Amino acid sequence: MAMMNIVGAVNHALKIEMERDDSVICLGQDIGKNGGVFRVTDGLQAIYGEERVIDTPLAESAIIGTSVGMAVRGLKPVAEIQFLGFIYQAMDQLAAQAARIRFRSAGRFTAPMVVRAPYGGGVRTPELHSDSLEGLFLHSPGLKVVMPSSPYDAKGLLIAAIRDPDPVLFFEPMKLYRAFKEEVPEEDYVVEIGKAKIVQEGEDVTIITWGAPTPLVKKVAEEFRDEGQVSVEVIDLRTIVPMDVETIMNSVKKTGRVVIVHEAVKSGGVGAEVSALINEHAMFHLEAPIMRVTGFNTPYPVTMVEDDWIPNAERISKGIREVMAE
């Protein structure tokens, strides 16, 4: 197996799918000759040409609108939005068009397309470059939402997303792009969309997270375990829509205590949905109120304070201690 970071794993997945299927088309600003703002598509245009790796103007609505048209007509576009914070420009094309094609046509047409976008804080970017907006799309039926946290998952989930018959949003954690490498099979494989991963097994408390915070949560959980304080089970959802409710409930029924960690703002976020599901399916197994450790209810802040705004080790540890004290 090869050692890859997330950038390399996503690039490899795109190569596999473009080689396997001539209908797979990549499009976005600067993704061709320049290989994208993070070089995720580096080298693809040289291999597959300008008609399959298309440089577009800086126009998010046009990129997604074009992708919807391509998808309905039988192609499999993989669109790149340079930063998730700019996806507001394309909300109509996503929520009012791509998400509804199957429902609107009673299944006669579908929109098999992928929208890739980097997101997440801790990398000192200007405004609208770090926002975590997965909650917007949890509330937009018809869209799948995938958020990997490792190179292995990124490759397998992206291949699964490209082969999916419906639109998939694939959000890539900027902070983790080149943070670490791990062994990734060079051959074709799929990670099932909608299946969470138990990153660390535990008995006392469940932490539910996804995407960018996952390695930090795992590190904190390992410290609690090594110090013999608390046995922490860590679940990486991997996929926000569809959500693996069964894995969540099995863990909650085992530990009875829950901390949810995400970078997005707290109000109306995915954490609130997870908390509601636990109340519906496993409330009588809870030993303490559910704790959320999240971003604050403000626009993403200036760089001087972002390390305190996003969940850090101190806040996650405090959350664990508080639910254990109940």
Positions annotated as catalytic residues are 129
In this structure, what token pair is assigned to residue 313?
């080790």
Q: Using omega within 30 degrees of 0 as the cis cutoff, is the peptide bond preceding 185 cis?
A: no
Between vectors from CA 259 to CA 247 and to CA 252, what angle results, nearest 5°? 35
Up-side HSE of residue 228: CA atoms within 13 Å toward CB? Answer: 0
User: CA 7 to CA 181: how far, in whole Å?
Assistant: 10
For tokens 């975590």, the residue is 132
For the chain, count helices (H), then strands (E).
Answer: 12, 14
**Per the structure block, which two tokens stand in for 20?**
């396997």
With tokens 């990129």, the residue in question is 63
DSSP string of 198-241, one letter each residue: EEE--SSEEEEE-STTHHHHHHHHHHHHHTTS--EEEEE--EEE
* 274 within 8 A of 208, measured Cβ to Cβ: yes
Task: Provide the phi-psi class of 232: left if phi over 0, else alpha when psi is between -120 and 50, else beta.
Answer: beta
Report yes or no: 128 and 139 within 8 Å, Cβ to Cβ. no
Q: Name which of 27, 49, 45, 29 is nearest 37 in CA terms.
A: 29
Residue 116 C-alpha from the chain's centroid: 10
